[in-house]
Amino acid sequence: MGVLIFIIGLILGSFYNVVGLRLPNKNSIIKPGSHCLKCNHKLAWWENIPVISYIFLKGRCKSCKEKISFMYPGMELLTALLFTISYKLFGFSYEFYISLVLASLVVLIFITDSKYMIILDEVLIAGGVLITVIEIIYQGIDKTLISLGYGLVIFIFVYVLMLIGNFLFKKESLGGGDIKLSFLAGMVLGVPVGLFYVMFASFLAFPYAVYISIKNEDGMLPFGPFLVTSLFICFCNSNMILEFLQALFKVT
Ligand SMILES: [Zn+2]
């Protein structure tokens, strides 16, 4: 079963590459079919198999020999890996389906935020709808409404953080996408772990932020990849984090 889920991950990852690279430019995700960005060579089916074709073609276009970005097989492998981890951790359960949605968000936000500095509303809305539907099916309406409330709490928390950040640094600190993503985080993590998710994302981003300021690039730091990575890690370890927080507040 693990192998099948890995393969589904590869195929969906390949689809996420197309969505993540085309949708921000308002290009159709259906037409034209996959092609080389340099010479427009249309890919035959055997040149378009996730990961395998990349290895087979030695990472180059068959027609013009232009290098194919490692991001394509990289994102396919990442999706497959996160899907497999989800299955190994949770089996077929409520947590598994939520985890698949979060893994998909990780990949899509990695692509769009690192390349275009945006998190697509379409991606967040699709993620939000899927999470809500899965919660209603597995937890019932009442619990789903409560989790929407948790979403709102974390949303407001991050929104206030953004206002403080904008005031302190006199420039945009967090994007709208980061705040909307945090609503989904609150939904699936609840409030204590949801607050931890924000702290943990800052912790993950810190070395990169230092690196950027040392290199003195005036490039903005896309925070989305760190937030969504933190979200996935916190969801997979939420029990441990909850115990940790309880122990922490018992002592102090
Ligand atoms: Zn080419």
For ligand 1, the distance from its centroid to the CA atom of residue 3, given in whole angstroms, is 32
Indicate the DSSP class of residue 25: G
Is 113 strand, coil or helix? Answer: helix
Triad 154, 133, 7: Cα angle to 5°: 100
Residue 218's pLDDT is 63
Ramachandran angles phi, psi of 96, nearest 5°: -60, -50
pLDDT at residue 26, rounded to an integer: 87
Residue 108 alpha carbon to ligand 1 centre in Å: 25
> In 83-154, at which residue ranges do the beta strands (DSSP E only) sit?
none
Give the model confidence (pLDDT) of 64-101 as tens digits. 999 999 999 999 999 999 999 999 999 999 999 999 99
Q: Compute, in angstroms, the gap from residue 212 CA to the centroid of ligand 1.
A: 33
- Please check whether residue 196 is in contact with residue 241, taking contact to mean a CB–CB distance below 8 angstroms: yes
What's the CA-to-centroid distance between 142 and ligand 1, angstroms?
54
Q: Under 8 Å CB-to-CB from 60, ≥6 apart: which residues?
A: 66, 67, 68
What is d(CA 235, CA 92) in angstroms, rounded to the nearest whole number? 16
Evaluate if residue 221 carries a pLDDT over 90.
Answer: no
Q: What are the φ/ψ torsions at residue 67 (nearest 5 degrees)? A: -65, 135
Model confidence pTM above 0.85: yes
Tokens of 180: 């909307």
Q: How many residues are there in the chain?
A: 252
Looking at residue 27, what is its pLDDT?
A: 86
Question: Helices 121-169 and 94-116: crossing angle, nearest 10°?
Answer: 60
Residue 7 makes CB contacts below 8 A (sequence gap 6+) with: 80
Q: Tell me, what's the pLDDT at 167?
A: 85
* Residue 154 to residue 38: CA distance in whole angstroms: 43
- Residue 50 Cα to ligand 1 middle (Å): 18
